[in-house]
Amino acid sequence: MAATRRLANTVAVITISHPPVNALSSSVRHALVKEFGEASRDPKVEAIVLNGSGRKFSAGADIREFGTSAIKTVSLEDINSTIEASQKPVVAAIEGIALGGGLELALACHYRVADIQAKVGLPEVLIGILPAAGGTQRLPRLIGVPAALDVIVRGRHIPASEALKLGIVDEVVQGNALDAAIQLARKVIGYPLNKKRLSTVRISSDSNLEDFLDTAVEKAKKQFRGAKAPLACIEAVRASVHLSYHQGLEKERQLFFSLWATGQPQAQQYAFFSEREAGKWTHSSGARWDTEEAKPIRTAAVIGLGTMGRGIVISLSKAKIPVIAIEQDAQQLEVGKKAVNSLLEREAEKLKQQGSVPSSNLGSVHFTLDFGELQDVDLVIEAVYENMELKKEIFRKLSSVCKPDAFLCTNTSGLNVDEIASVTHRPNQVIGTHFFSPANIMRLLEVVRGQQTSLTAIATAMNLGKKLGKVAVLVGNCPLFVGNRMLGPYLEQASYLLEEGYYPEEVDQAMEEFGFAMGPFRMMDLAGLDVGWRSRTEKGLTGAKVPQGTPARQRLGSRYSPLADILCESGRFGQKTGRGWYQYEKPGGRTGKPDPWVKDFLQKYRKTHQIKQQPSNPEQIVERCAFALANEGFRILEDGIASCPEDIDVIYNNGYGWPKYRGGPMYYASSVGLPKVLDTLEKYYKANPDVPSMKPAFLLKKLAALGGPPIKEWRTQVGKPVNKL
């Protein structure tokens, strides 16, 4: 049953019942109409309380119904207007969550009581749409335009205590929200309801409000580059100022349909469900997320307190896991300790502002130089710099010091997890946990399974990711895993574009207009050019190990761009040295400006190597870079390193600044059309046979030959997950 009704004296309690999150599916909406109608007509009923089963009010509209005929049956806003117009007082008892349509339903009620643990919000913008059941019209009438705009455009989940301050809820209770709502309902029987009907409230407009909305548009254009939903949200809220409630609703509806026509909601909803699917990992043995039990992690340790290690310590502490943090010498320990403590203070401050007690919400951190102190921890994460010998030395030590069932994780961004595991007595307990910088902020975690990694270790690492609030994706062990492996051909194309006549700012601008948080050159400057340079030097691609007589722009018979190496040889490592692809105000500076030195250097380089300049074409920049990424993605699928295209997209959306409204590189390839992607790559590769990364992947050819089936069908065509080195 989608909703049930019972009588508590003269109060009817209608309970939405649609596990797991009480989404307002068509059957729930039908049930609400029926139960509410009967309660309204029942002379024994003097007031009505709405709540959700399983201590969750509602997560809003059933996202799976969008684009289907089910969404057209019984509109949520019709239900909301009926509730609002009720002559009997209606109180929402909010436990757990009231999100999207869930909050819109609660806003139609005359009163709202929330449990202290509850969160409310209008997160529609995060799935590419806007609140479309009156939310953009009722919320500004309740809490004012500026506060409502912030809630709607950011889509954040607001804790009950803040919701009370904002005026979204009338009462917050520590105990049972349902009992409190019933009590309130009884108390207000017979009170006038007019002022409680939000659709009747008037918003007074003034020029400040107009300026405020105009500024919000400009800010949103910059902040959400290319995303249409935030702008539609602002326009809908603007309508609440100028139009009657009913005209505003019509505007909300029109904006919803025009957003749908852009294709962005479909991409963002694909991204939403792909994230949920990533948690449902499968293994070639047939084992799955729901067959394997994770071990509890009560204590953890982090080795290395560089940028990554510090972020990991904070993540663990925020998940209330006590951490032991280790460094190799007293001086580095002191530096790391100061940095961690200052980050922890910031977290404690945030908790205080939310009304929580930091000491009960943050795990303790103990700093030491002594590996002996790790003997009882459940899990260790090594986060030292990328050097195989150093990592092996640490894992040897860990293997002898840690208790036999402790899990040993490496935060390598691409080294061989099996080789690291091979020096331990427990390769089955070794697993890769590749965090992204800054690790306390970035949501992505690549969990890398080695040949011998046990299913329990996989389940435990995936579960830990969830506990840390991350989206964990299980991948196979190959050089650079998934995300960084795909970055190779992408950055290669970016460099070739510079050789062929573009400048870093032009390539970055094209990719940022496409929607990337940062273009490739800004990203390299931020990450530090020296990191890749060190790795290329170790591989003999640059530096003294390159055989005499090797052409400057060729390695092992393939095309090679030495541009980044030359920059590094001139001490240009990016932001950290104040010079890289851009110039910065000072070493460590963040604001990059185009650098005349780079322009001059590129012009001389092109002249020296007699490279013909291509006519400028921003579309070509995007195609070459984005298709290079997707092509490597197809190879990764062929190799079984990622088990489905959705996992690759989750990695790019959450770790590499890919615009979510384009779904991810694989979704993008699918939406452009696989035959077109194939054709573009084929043409490029024919003209550039010395660039093997652009040779169309076998799987791409196979899928294009099948006419480019929908992305959810690709899974049937890909290999079994393996480890490939």
Contacting positions for ligand L4473FGL (CB under 6 A): 20-21, 23, 59-64, 76, 97, 99-101, 123-124, 127, 131-133, 273, 276
Between 645-655 and 665-672, two packed helices, what is the crossing angle to 10 degrees? Answer: 120
List, in order, residues 6 or more apart from 521 with CB less than 8 Å away: 494, 504, 505, 507, 508, 580, 581, 582
E strands, 540-600, are 554-555, 558-559, 582-583, 593-594
E strands, 72-190, are 90-94, 97-99, 111-115, 119-121, 158-159, 171-173
The Cα 461–Cα 78 span in angstroms is 46
List, in order, residues 6 or more apart from 394 with CB less than 8 Å away: 303, 382, 384
Q: In the bound complex, what is the minimum distance in angstroms from residue 133's beta carbon to ligand L4473FGL?
A: 4
Beta bridge partners of 368: 326
State which residue, 23 or 384, has the beta carbon closest to ligand L4473FGL.
23
Q: In the bound complex, what is the minimum distance in angstroms from residue 167's beta carbon to ligand L4473FGL?
A: 21
State which residue, 131 or 476, has the beta carbon closest to ligand L4473FGL.
131
Closest by CA position to 65, among listed 253, 259, 269 = 269
State which residue, 63 or 178, has the beta carbon closest to ligand L4473FGL.
63
Burial class of residue 176 (count of CB atoms within 10 Å of its CB; 0-12, 13-18, 19+)? middle
Single-letter amino acid code for the residue at 486: M
State which residue, 80 or 575, has the beta carbon closest to ligand L4473FGL.
80
Q: In the bound complex, what is the minimum distance in angstroms from residue 444's beta carbon to ligand L4473FGL?
A: 16
Q: In the bound complex, what is the minimum distance in angstroms from residue 16's beta carbon to ligand L4473FGL?
A: 12
Residue 269's SS3 state is helix
The Cα 126–Cα 230 span in angstroms is 9
Active site residue 124: yes
Q: In the bound complex, what is the minimum distance in angstroms from residue 547's beta carbon to ligand L4473FGL?
A: 53
Pairing of strands 111-115, 119-121: unpaired
Which residue's CB comes closest to ligand L4473FGL?
A: 100
Q: In the bound complex, what is the minimum distance in angstroms from residue 110's beta carbon to ligand L4473FGL?
A: 21
Question: From the candidates 77, 104, 252, 327, which is the catalytic residue?
Answer: 104
Pairing of strands 379-382, 300-303: parallel
Q: In the bound complex, what is the minimum distance in angstroms from residue 468's beta carbon to ligand L4473FGL?
A: 13
**H-state helical runs in 293-329:** 307-318
Q: Given the structure tokens 């997160």, which residue do they identify?
A: 123
Map 199-212 to HEC letters.
HHCCCCCCHHHHHH
Q: In the bound complex, what is the minimum distance in angstroms from residue 197's beta carbon to ligand L4473FGL?
A: 20
- C-beta of residue 108 within 8 angstroms of C-beta of residue 214: no
Residue 196's SS3 state is helix
State which residue, 124 or 378, has the beta carbon closest to ligand L4473FGL.
124
Active site residue 505: no
Question: From the candidates 77, 84, 95, 124, which is the catalytic residue?
Answer: 124
The Cα 452–Cα 474 span in angstroms is 15
Q: In the bound complex, what is the minimum distance in angstroms from residue 272's beta carbon to ligand L4473FGL?
A: 7
- C-beta of residue 556 within 8 angstroms of C-beta of residue 596: no
State which residue, 100 or 633, has the beta carbon closest to ligand L4473FGL.
100
Residue 213, both tokens: 């909305």
State which residue, 97 or 567, has the beta carbon closest to ligand L4473FGL.
97
Phi, psi of 14 (to 5 degrees): -105, 120
The number of residues in the chain equals 725
Q: In the bound complex, what is the minimum distance in angstroms from residue 282's beta carbon to ligand L4473FGL?
A: 14
Beta bridge partners of 302: 325, 381
The Cα 477–Cα 457 span in angstroms is 15
Give whole-number Cα distances, 580 to 437, 519, 585, 601, 665, in Å: 20, 14, 12, 12, 27
The Cα 384–Cα 178 span in angstroms is 51
State which residue, 155 or 483, has the beta carbon closest to ligand L4473FGL.
155
State which residue, 127 or 524, has the beta carbon closest to ligand L4473FGL.
127
Q: In the bound complex, what is the minimum distance in angstroms from residue 100's beta carbon to ligand L4473FGL?
A: 2
- C-beta of residue 541 within 8 angstroms of C-beta of residue 488: no
State which residue, 63 or 644, has the beta carbon closest to ligand L4473FGL.
63
Phi, psi of 111 (to 5 degrees): -140, 155
State which residue, 52 or 532, has the beta carbon closest to ligand L4473FGL.
52
Q: Annotated active-site positions, please?
A: 104, 124
